[in-house]
Amino acid sequence: MKLNKFAKTISYIFDGSYISIPAYLIINIFMLKSGKQIAIWTPICILFGSILPFVFVVFLYKKKLINDLHVPRREDRLKPLIVSNLSYLFGFFVFYIFKAPVFLKALFFTSFLTTFLLSIITYFWKISFHASWITFTSITYYVFFGKWLLFLLLFIPLVGWARVRLKRHTISQVIAGSILTSITALFGYSLFGLLHIF
């Protein structure tokens, strides 16, 4: 069916594993002040925010410990989530120790906080990471670049629809992923002084 095909396309496009690298590139190119800073901080950002978590998923797939790179089974998500949490946390400490710009520290702390809470919930219930990722990205781009990027919020219901359409999640799992991430993102960026909400 055409709708299912469209839903699959949306799911692939908004899978954080695949497009987090260009997302980080855009943030660093526009937020950092010089080419030297971009060259220093961007590889670290991509390594801990994208490559290490994804390489571990590929490793599990190659070893046939999972049968899908999207890791649809809730029980299979726990090991990749542990690695993702450690990677985000280690990235945050690297940025903290070497005095990276505050937005990078905020980005990785908030990523860790969000993923940590999602991991706890995943142990009991299959919450939507697609909904979480698009919500986190929308809020992050709003915080970093301003109100003109609020239109990204329109992608949240689109991604949620795609996940429900493909029967990968229920409506409640999609809504929960988005709401939880909204809270952690707003709290995390407020904690670092990039927002003034809490």
Which of 107, 87, 88 shows the shortest CA–CA distance to 28?
107
Question: Which residues, in sequence order, are CB contacts of 84 under 8 Å at separation 6+?
Answer: 53, 115, 119
- Residue 146 predicted with pLDDT over 80: yes
pLDDT band at 53 (very low <50, low <70, confident <90, very high): very high
User: Rounded to whole angstroms, how far apart are CA atoms 7 and 54?
Assistant: 22
- Please check whether residue 95 is in contact with residue 108, taking contact to mean a CB–CB distance below 8 angstroms: yes
* Alpha-carbon Rg for the chain in angstroms: 16
**What is the 3 state secondary structure string of 93-153?**
HHHHHCCCCHHHHHHHHHHHHHHHHHHHHHHHCCCCHHHHHHHHHHHHHHHHHCHHHHHHH
- Cα 147 from chain centre: 20
pLDDT(186) > 90: yes
Whether 197 has a pLDDT exceeding 70, the answer reads no
Quick one: how many helices (H) and strands (E) in the chain? 9, 0
Q: What angle do CA 51, 55, 59 make, to 5 degrees?
A: 175
What band does 71 get if pLDDT is binned at 50, 70 and 90? confident
pLDDT band (50, 70, 90) for residue 16? confident
Looking up tokens 């980005």, which residue turns up? Answer: 107
CA-wise closest residue to 92 among 157, 44, 25 = 44
Report the chain's mean pLDDT, rounded to a whole number: 94
